Structure 1
Amino acid sequence: MISKTIYFRRPAQADSPIPLRLPFSKSICSREIVISALSTKSQTFVNGFTESLSDDLAVLQHALSASLHQEATIDLQASGTALRFLTAYFALQTSVPILLTGISRLCNRPIAPLIDALRMLGARITCMEHEGFAPLYIEPAKLEGGKIIDLDASLSSQFVSALLLIAPCLPNGLCLQLSTPPASVSYIAMTIEVMKRAGVSVQVSPDYRSYTVAAGSYTPLPLPMIERDWSAAAFFYTLLAIHRSPSLQLQLEGIYQDSIQGDKKATEYFAALGVESRQRKNGIIIEYNSMSKNQETILRPDFSSCPDMLPAWVVAATLQERPFVATGIATLRHKESDRIAAVTEGLLRLGYKGLEIHSDSLVYHSTPVQQMRETIPTIDSYDDHRIAMAFAMASADRRFTNGLCIRGIEAVSKSFPNFESVAEHCGLLFTSNGNAY
């Protein structure tokens, strides 16, 4: 693991907002990569990209572009998206046995509902160590499609998305009914929109618990949907909410408020903390305005539709010492880390003790901030890109003039390969501390 100390030095006064180029939307690109592999031009999707793909997208693209003529083991590293999407893809497509594996944390992330659903369709999937978890041994099988009832998608919306993506390639199409309200509905809506762009329509009930996809085929995608990543944008909202200077403006290029990405709700979440958003032709300009903050005594954000926003928002709200009750967060226990525990532990190390964890909520009482024991506090990212980026932005708080140390900062490459260089434009300085074990 690599540790780096991060300092904040406010950039020189600029006459215009500082332009920032974010990575491509990981969520949109991952769906387009799978659809491209299922259509007739599976090798052309990323040829037009001139930027480095995130680790997650590179893993997915490599697995789908490999020419598999004999039994193979595919290392998915830490990518939960790749595990879920490729489990469905190879259950449908493979002509040779495939073993999907990854790091220990990935193999501890639950996937049983998706495995059970695929088995109902005829898939031959064996859990090699523990039932319902990777590594997964997938053998060739003929999936006919049909009806799946009582799918539990409360842990991950990607169980639904993985099935929808392969649905038009099933001879009998797919009818899917959920037993519980799905997690992160906005990501399912995104899947449906990307499929529509590729010529496949999904009939979905208003409550997102019933889906029908007819048998058919995808129309090969034109050029990728060049949309930048709202999930990455959220961390720059965090920076402004923590620094609280009205003269620091940022221009987030290539993101739009009419995006199909659910995390566009960052504009709403961070408006409560005083960060304003203004749409421009080439992106969004954000700035801090203390007069625009929500004046409610206790903030009550609901993260059920986009839970990945929680680390960025909670770090900002806590450092502003704004009491809150954040709900809709239970699924965060099953991400790259237990994000609820990781963000709470990190804030505790910064002196914030008024946090309470509940089954589906995180509560902050604005108690007096404790003096830190360390001159330079160290935050463990737990190899989680979103924890690393959220706490990197905490260095903009005036309490941390000596900097913050992030252990496992390299995790950011999972979704934002050039995070450090982009953040440096805003005043963050990264100093390597070497390897930490």
Structure 2
Amino acid sequence: MSTASASGNSQLDRPNDEGDWWPAPHVATGVDAIVSVPASKSLTNRYLILAALASSPSTIHNTLISRDTELMLAALASFGTGIERTEQPDGSTTVVITPAAALERGPLEINCGLAGTVMRFVPPLAAVAGATVSFDGDPHARLRPMAPVLDALQALGVAISFTGEQGMLPFTMDASGLKPVGPVVIDASSSSQFISALLLVGHALPGGLELRAADGPIASPDHIMMTVQTLRELGVQITVDDDQRGWRIQPGELRGFTVTVEPDLSNAGPFLAAALASKGSVGIRFWPATTTQVGGKWVQILTAMGAEVHHGADGVLRVRSTGELRGIDYADASELAPTLAALCALADSPSTLTGIGHLRGHETDRLAALETELGKVGVKVTATEDSLQITPGPLHAADLHSYADHRMATAGALLGLAIDGIRVENIATTAKTMPQFPQLWADMAATAQAAG
């Protein structure tokens, strides 16, 4: 066994065909690898926001260093937060965050890139600072929904002006009029980040925070649970209504903390799925015994699709192919859906993925993108407003676009493992959350080539 290690828009914005095309590794035999994936982006950026609001320095071990977290670190530095990085002997990064005596009030300019956590989490931080800040990001970021969190900030007395379309990047906010208010109601049907963004700063708002989800669905409730658990872990007193649609946080001090960030279990998904796609075996090191990450669902999903899954005493989660790869009917896959859809394309029976309409507002319209790209390799995919129906067919080579979306890129890599002749456009977009992905993937694929 070898090892690899390393620390919505409704219209589909398709890139040119002149992109940088990456030949996806293809294997004829099962891979046999143990992989160390980088740390969780979701947890890293939550801890960074909270560390900037703490009353004393915080130490974050195994901090993810990727484009999304670099953008967050740059944003925090703009507010006067002290940042000290140390590379550890194991290749991980420890970051010490020293809060500013008083957050800078600007005027400031924040580049959000394509990071949802930056464009949604930093405006409430700016509100706490009483700052004047201009926000913008990548062209694709201007298509991602922002209005609910901005509407909530306006209810708190923040003035917001838009350069382009209402409720979208770019915009400028003036939080000098921030004031305590009663209950704030927010529409979270297109992103759970709207709720998490306010919960993360709730203890620092004047009068605290009373928040209620508007009627209708809540996208990715698992991510809200992650935020709540993170706050409780760090000592924030938060009350959650019995129906899981209301939250109350009293104002108070958050003391500095020391944490170690878990591996990114969503980013582990393509590697685990590779075991089934190649009829091999893949292990992920340091898999937590319990987790709030949505990627923890891979254990249930891959077992249902025919894998043998074992979490050993050594902390390695091992997934082994049994030779079967069954289709699945699955609800609320959230950010796992692109990888899961690619695996369903390789299955021996149809699959239906439901409860994922909010993915139309992610880095790209992921449902439309998956319908288009899976169709190129011979899979029949029907996308509805909220679901994907996937019927496998005879598979063939194709050039697959990534739409500047890291999860579309990794889904293409998974298809390439099983289908000879796949090329993925702009594999470098995986640097958003996993800069090491191309090398880790090649190292894993090489274990099959060596075995063959």
TM-score range, shorter chain: 0.7 to 0.9
Tell me which residue corresponds to 1:302: 331
Q: Kindly tell me the number of residue pairs found equivalent between the two proteins.
A: 403
* Match runs of 1:141-160 below 5 Å: 141-160=176-195
* Match runs of 1:37-436 below 5 Å: 37-41=52-56, 45=59, 48-49=61-62, 53-66=65-78, 67=80, 68=104, 70-95=106-131, 97-180=132-215, 181-222=217-258, 224-244=259-279, 248-280=280-312, 281-290=314-323, 299-303=328-332, 306-352=333-379, 354-366=380-392, 368-369=393-394, 372=396, 376-397=397-418, 399-400=419-420, 403-427=421-445
CA offsets per residue over residues 309-355 of structure 1, 9 Å max, x none? Answer: 11111111111242012100100101111111112211111111x21
CA offsets per residue over residues 285-317 of structure 1, 9 Å max, x none? Answer: 1111236x66xxx631002xx411111111111
**Contact 1:10–1:426 (8 Å) recurs in 2:** no
**Contact 1:186–1:261 (8 Å) recurs in 2:** yes
What letter is aligned with 2:363? Answer: E
TM-score, normalising length: structure 1: 0.87
The CA RMSD measured in Å over matched residues stands at: 2.2
What letter is aligned with 2:47? Answer: E
What letter is aligned with 1:285? Answer: R
CA offsets per residue over residues 214-258 of structure 1, 9 Å max, x none? Answer: 111212121x333101111111122122112xxx32220122251
What letter is aligned with 1:189? Answer: M
Query: Alpha carbons of 1:299 and 1:19: their partners in 2 closer, same or farther (altered >3 Å)?
Result: closer
- Displacement of 1:145 in angstroms is 3.2
Tell me which residue corresponds to 2:48: 33
TM-score, normalising length: structure 2: 0.84
Tell me which residue corresponds to 1:433: none
Q: 2:222 & 2:30 partners in 1: Cα distance?
A: 38
Q: 1:114 & 1:380 partners in 2: Cα distance?
A: 31
Tell me which residue corresponds to 1:435: none
**Contact 1:145–1:167 (8 Å) recurs in 2:** no
Q: 2:76 & 2:59 partners in 1: Cα distance?
A: 11
Query: Alpha carbons of 1:313 and 1:12: their partners in 2 closer, same or farther (altered >3 Å)?
Result: closer
162-171 vs 172-181, greater mean Cα deviation: 172-181
Tell me which residue corresponds to 2:99: none
* Match runs of 1:1-16 below 5 Å: 1-9=19-27
Q: Which runs of 4+ in 1 moved over 3 A?
A: 9-13, 67-70
SS at match of 2:182: strand
- Displacement of 1:125 in angstroms is 2.1
- Displacement of 1:143 in angstroms is 2.8
- Displacement of 1:80 in angstroms is 1.3
Query: Alpha carbons of 1:45 and 1:143: their partners in 2 closer, same or farther (altered >3 Å)?
Result: farther
Which ranges of structure 2 fall in alignment gaps of 5 or more residues? 1-18, 81-103, 448-452
Q: 2:387 & 2:178 partners in 1: Cα distance?
A: 40
**Contact 2:143–2:168 (8 Å) recurs in 1:** yes
SS at match of 1:138: strand
**Contact 1:238–1:315 (8 Å) recurs in 2:** no
Q: 2:33 & 2:74 partners in 1: Cα distance?
A: 35
Q: 1:394 & 1:428 partners in 2: Cα distance?
A: 16
- Displacement of 1:94 in angstroms is 4.4
Q: 1:9 & 1:351 partners in 2: Cα distance?
A: 19
What letter is aligned with 2:399? Answer: T
Query: Alpha carbons of 1:428 and 1:87: their partners in 2 closer, same or farther (altered >3 Å)?
Result: farther
**Contact 1:255–1:284 (8 Å) recurs in 2:** yes
Identity %: 25
164-173 vs 71-80, greater mean Cα deviation: 71-80
Q: 2:201 & 2:299 partners in 1: Cα distance?
A: 33
- Displacement of 1:175 in angstroms is 0.9
Query: Alpha carbons of 1:307 and 1:343: their partners in 2 closer, same or farther (altered >3 Å)?
Result: same
SS at match of 1:110: coil
**Contact 1:346–1:380 (8 Å) recurs in 2:** yes
Q: 2:400 & 2:203 partners in 1: Cα distance?
A: 45
Q: 1:391 & 1:81 partners in 2: Cα distance?
A: 24
